[in-house]
Amino acid sequence: MATMESTGRVVGSWRAAWLRVEGYFTWYRRYWTSNLYSSGLQPVLFLAAMGLGFGSQVQAGPATGGLSYLQYVAPALLVSAALQVGVGEATYPVLSGFKWQRDYVAATATPMTPGQVFGGQLIWIALRLTLSGAAYAVIAVFFGAWLNFGAVLVVLVGTLTGMACATPMMALAATTFDEGMRFGLIFRFVVIPMTLLAGTFFPIAQLPLVLRLFAWISPLWHGNELGRGVTLGGVSGLAMLGHFAYLLLIFLAGAWAGRRYFYRRLVV
């Protein structure tokens, strides 16, 4: 009997989280064009500029695994775009739920708990990442960017990488009261350097040791390696498992902290 009651509470908890997702989707289907550039066009334009434009000047060789630069950079651009979308969705929109629109406060004035509010936001970000990644993957087909159906797995890698960066940012947003330049500094001094130095455009072996250390601890490098591994090969199964475990660990740690800080801020 106790087990059935516990199961019912879990089902009800997720049902409440999905109600939040339904609300986000109701808004999104009316205003999706406002996100079209950041979630769809931007990575495609990067693919055209770097893969076709700059890539036409890069000879296939050891650095690209013997592949064209377009094929080398395509999975990493998907993953890096997912990181940027994940961080973007987990900063100002989350802070808005606490501070400006205060819809988190309104939701927890009902029987909905802060954990359910957090879960709904988490699910919505994952759906946004998967949708934008799938759109990029389909368009990249027409560029000749993919070698095989591993492109489907790259979308999932992008979602995992984006979520690994989103959950710590959600925890940070939940502890932010006067944002000032905090989020701007994160984009300028963390996200952009990660994009440039974590193996997105060239192997990190070409970097000085100090910068390679930065790349090794960044989730984007692990996402890039995992993304290239599932579509281009050249990464051992053990290494891919390590990259996956690293991203999963960051995601789980961020989710634990985020849920805790949501409760701390919303339970008065």
Residues 188-214 pLDDT 10s? 999 999 999 999 999 998 899 888 999
Residues 6+ apart with CB under 8 A from 171: 254, 257, 258, 260, 261
Residue 70 lies in a domain: yes
The answer to the question of residue 150 being in a domain is yes
Residue 2 has pLDDT above 50, yes or no: no
The whole domain housing 210 covers: 17-266
In a domain, 4, yes or no: no
Q: Is residue 10 part of a domain?
A: no
Sign of CA dihedral 200, 204, 208, 211: positive
- Answer yes or no: is 2 within a domain: no
| Residue 7 belongs to some domain of the structure | no
Q: Give the chain's domain count.
A: 1
Is residue 237 assigned to a domain?
yes
What is the model's pTM? Answer: 0.90
Q: Is residue 8 situated within a structural domain?
A: no
Quick one: average pLDDT of 244-260?
97
pLDDT confidence of residue 178:
78
The burial class, CB within 10 Å (0-12 / 13-18 / 19+), for 129 is: buried
